[in-house]
């Protein structure tokens, strides 16, 4: 086996070992604050998803005295949020079982799309909704406030996941750069 082949095999083994340890807790040092393990954060996410889904599902557009157009818009945002929560649940379970860089990044992007997109828009639409008579609808505002709080919780969860994922990506990139340098020289 040539030296380059041995080096490539070594790099591949290192990649496998790095991927296997992504969900493990990294010891704290004075230079790096101790991050939560990806696996524990994913457990927390998976536990919270049904609660968040229930909060979105409870929104009953038909019970609101609003115009058809506004009702359709709110129903679309509600359905979109529920679909995103389902997608995030499947992806979180997949990342927990086998953390990969691409799935981990996709999970971060999906969480951001949810809390910064459809769920935020749904909460805003409900908070700002006024009835056909022009008065603010108390139930819609209550649902909107609850979903705004839920959106904030999802954002905080995404930030907890972001640290271990970014560490995994930096380690992977450093390893790839090292392998490229060694193979080209």
pLDDT by residue (tens digit) across 102-124?
Answer: 898 899 999 999 999 999 999 99
**How large is the average pLDDT for residues 31-37?**
43
- Domain spans, the chain: 37-184
Nearest to 98 by CA among 158, 8, 38: 38
Helices and strands of the chain, counted as H and E runs: 6, 0
- Does the pLDDT at position 76 exceed 70? yes
* Residues 137, 64 contacting (CB under 8 angstroms): yes
Task: Write down the pLDDT at residue 94.
Answer: 93
For the chain, how many residues are written? 185
């Amino acid at each position: 086996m040539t030296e380059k082949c041995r080096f490539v095999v070594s790099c591949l083994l290192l990649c496998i070992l790095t991927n296997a340890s992504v969900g493990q807790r990294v010891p704290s040092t004075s230079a790096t604050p101790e991050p939560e393990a990806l696996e524990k954060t994913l457990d927390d996410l998976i536990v919270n998803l049904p609660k968040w889904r229930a909060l979105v599902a409870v929104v009953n557009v038909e019970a609101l005295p609003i115009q058809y157009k506004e009702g359709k818009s709110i129903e679309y945002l509600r359905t979109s949020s529920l679909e995103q929560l389902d997608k995030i649940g499947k992806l979180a379970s997949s990342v927990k079982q086998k953390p990969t860089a691409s799935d981990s990044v996709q999970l971060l992007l999906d969480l951001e799309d949810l809390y910064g997109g459809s769920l935020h828009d749904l909460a805003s639409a409900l908070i700002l909704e006024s009835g056909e008579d022009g008065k603010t609808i108390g139930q819609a505002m209550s649902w909107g406030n609850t979903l705004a709080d839920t959106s904030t919780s999802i954002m905080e969860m995404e930030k907890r996941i972001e640290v271990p994922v970014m560490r995994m990506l930096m380690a992977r990139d450093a390893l790839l750069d090292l392998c490229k340098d060694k193979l080209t020289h």
